[in-house]
Amino acid sequence: MAAHVLAFPWPLQGHINPMLHLASALLDAGLRVTFLHTEHNLRRFTRVPPHHPRLRLASIPDGLPDHHPRSVGGLMELVESMRTAGSAAYRALLLRMMDSDDDDAVTCVITDGVMPFAVSVAEELGVPALAFRTESACGFLAYLSVPRLLELGEKPVPSDELARGAPGMEGFLRRRDLPRVVPLPLPPGPGNGDPVPVLLTIADTAARCGESRALILNTAASMEGPALSRIAPHVRDVFAVGPLHARPAARHAAEHVSRSSDDMSLSAWLDGHEDRSVVTVEWMMGEANSRSRVGAIDFRPAVVFWIRKVYSFFVFRLIRKLM
């Protein structure tokens, strides 16, 4: 009987798509996959998923009311609700799957690495859990390095000076590249205006990936070998399985089990502009915040490209226009 994997992404589109790509690869390898959505996201599907004999969808409540935006402005509420209500529903689902017959019993869990509770619950119930992080190996290593970076006084500022404290990246990591905290509306309270506690929480979440049986990264050793070797001592095992979006079946899977559809005219739009004519891409901060950040810069000779979601399909085209 094929192994049965429960795939549990963080319930935002930028995390769902890479997990879908990974699930597609697991299906191609002959495994069975149950893809776990929140009930809110499952209702927002734009397409009916194709039938696959080894793919099943499941859902749990995230604990938030239907009218909640579940966007950057309400991110902290989503984090807390998933940690409490979502965690309880996830535990109940795992227990049901463990009590089912042999055909439905879950073999292991692959959960998004930003949800340490999902690893803890699975391991507590005796189900092996692996963590999947959607950023690059260098990005993950930067999160692991946050405590040392703060100790050295390194902060994300618009500077090309090289940053100290990120092992293996001393020769190219600039201060402007350091992890930064997206401005979030936090409730009044001591320290809520200080980004350091938030950064330390993000760093702790990254470090807790070491509690899982293995860390899965959407990258390749040929691209990020040095960063992967630096990450290895912090986790039990690390697997570089990407780039997952380059697999022929990956885009088909994402198109059918997705909250929204991609605007494919974006590719033609980019091809219609000369190299070095597209200036910036901003996401997660909102257009108003993005404009305020670059308003003092004269971009008259170029096109400023504003977009709320950019999928990996377009990344290399964007790089070509930006370089």
Q: Are 207 and 236 in contact (CB under 8 A)?
A: no
Active site residue 237: no
| Residues sharing a CB contact under 8 Å with residue 101, sequence separation 6 or more, in sequence order | none
Rg of the chain on CA atoms, in Å: 20
275 is catalytic: no
Using CA atoms of 115, 121, 127, 129 in order, give the dihedral in degrees to the nearest 10.
20
Packing angle, helices 221-231 and 137-144, rounded to 10: 20
Cα distance between residue 7 and residue 130, in whole Å: 10
Structure token digits, residue 287: 């257009």
Catalytic residue among 4, 15, 21, 37: 15
Q: How far is CA 70 from CA 40, 60, 81, 172, 249, in A?
A: 10, 15, 11, 35, 29
Sheet holding 32-38, edge to edge: 55-60, 32-38, 4-8, 108-112, 129-133, 215-217, 238-240
Residues recognised as catalytic? 15, 112
